[in-house]
Amino acid sequence: MKQQLEAIRAAAKAAINEAQNEQVIEALRVQYLGKKGELTAILKQMGGLSPEERPIMGQLVNEAKQALETKIAEKKKAMAAKAAEEKLKAETIDVTLPGKASKPGHLHPLTGVTNDMIDIFRSMGFDVVDGPEVETDHYNFECLNVPADHPARDMQDTFYLAENLLLRTQTSAAQIRTMETRKPPIRVVCPGRVFRADEVDATHSPVFHQMEGLVVDKGITMCDLKGVLEQFAHEIYGPETKVKFRPSFFPFTEPSVEVDVTCSECGGKGCRVCKGSGWIEILGAGMVHPNVLRSCGIDPDVYSGFAFGIGLDRITTTRYKISDIRLLFENDKRFLEQF
Ligand code: DAH
């Protein structure tokens, strides 16, 4: 019986040492120490022993039982420690590795320039207004002193959607909508897309962008227009920029001017960009025509105003020295990522 006990103990010890996981250990515990286990079976055989042998054998079995219990507990502990260590190893993060930089997006150069211009005009007290891209003949032409048979309609090739419904050719339409809804003093800018049936080339696109400006109040003069536009040009291009006002014609202003700034590429010496002239045209402007004020119910004998329409694409291309307007609309990331 003693030999049998020794054999069981040795086998159990070896099996526990070999065990790879908790389930195997548990199965071994049941196999040796359980109610129907091998050690328990030996205890049950003790009835057949002599009274002298019985306590000795009992003690041996108990010793074996305790030894196995200790062994199992130790093995379980070791396995838990090993599992914890493996988990830590698997989850270890090397905080010294360089991070993966995520590329933040940024504004399209045209949007950036528009926002900068809005800031400049806001600082001079202008509000920002919005207008529809689909306009009626009434707002885009009629009220701007361009009646149906007026030759000035030839200046702007228009996309008509239906009779009297068109894609606005100029943000000037927003002037009328503003004067219809606001009373002087009025100081607004309206940035937005405009549309003309133009052939696409390096400086023309059927979709382009303008920012309209309108000021109406008592006693507004050409001096105010000059001051505002000079301030604007200096903020956008730098204080050394010179501004030139050339007489021009627009049906909705009288007098009318076109405004040039010294070429941002050559500083006025003359280069490829300014075609040797040293100047770049950036906007049209003038004193609001009395007919326009009248068509919006504003008395031209009491109020006067000035208006301007700035080409946003031109401001963007000259500011960033972009040689072709088409680059602004192609959305090639390799181009856009440079700004
Ligand atoms: N609407 C004109 C254009 O698209 C630009 C312009 C000229 C706007 C004079 C104005 C202005 O407000 O007063 O060519």
Dihedral over Cα of 102, 108, 109, 112: its sign: negative
| pLDDT of 153 higher than 80 | no
Residue for token pair 């079976």: 41
| pLDDT of 173 higher than 90 | yes
Give the pLDDT score at 285. Answer: 98
Confidence of residue 22 (pLDDT cuts 50, 70, 90): confident
Question: How far apart, in whole angstroms, are the C-alpha atoms of residue 176 and residue 247?
Answer: 24
pLDDT tens column, 260-298? 999 988 888 998 888 899 999 999 999 999 999 999 999
Residue 55 alpha carbon to ligand 1 centre in Å: 117
| pLDDT of 232 higher than 80 | yes
Residue 258 alpha carbon to ligand 1 centre in Å: 9
Residue 219 backbone zone (phi > 0: left; psi -120 to 50: alpha; other: beta): left
Mean pLDDT of 195-206: 89
Question: How far apart, in whole angstroms, are the C-alpha atoms of residue 108 and residue 328?
Answer: 8
State if residue 192 touches ligand 1 by the CB under 6 angstroms criterion: no
Q: Structure pTM? A: 0.72
Residue with CA at minimum distance from ligand 1 atom 8: 309
Residue 182 alpha carbon to ligand 1 centre in Å: 20
Give the pLDDT score at 32. Answer: 87
Q: Is 291 helix (H, G, I), strand (E, B) or coil?
A: helix
Do 266 and 280 meet the contact criterion of CB atoms below 8 Å apart?
A: no
State if residue 190 touches ligand 1 by the CB under 6 angstroms criterion: no
| 47 vs 289, more confident | 289
Residue 139 alpha carbon to ligand 1 centre in Å: 14
Give the pLDDT score at 152. Answer: 66
Output the six-digit token pair for 212: 């309209």
State if residue 251 touches ligand 1 by the CB under 6 angstroms criterion: no
Give the pLDDT score at 23. Answer: 87
Burial state string for 282-308 with b = 16 or more CB within 10 A and e = fewer than 16: bbbbbbbbbebbebbebeeeebbbbbb
Mean pLDDT of 148-173: 86
- β-strands 127-128, 186-195: how paired? parallel
Closest CA to 123 of 68, 59, 187: 187
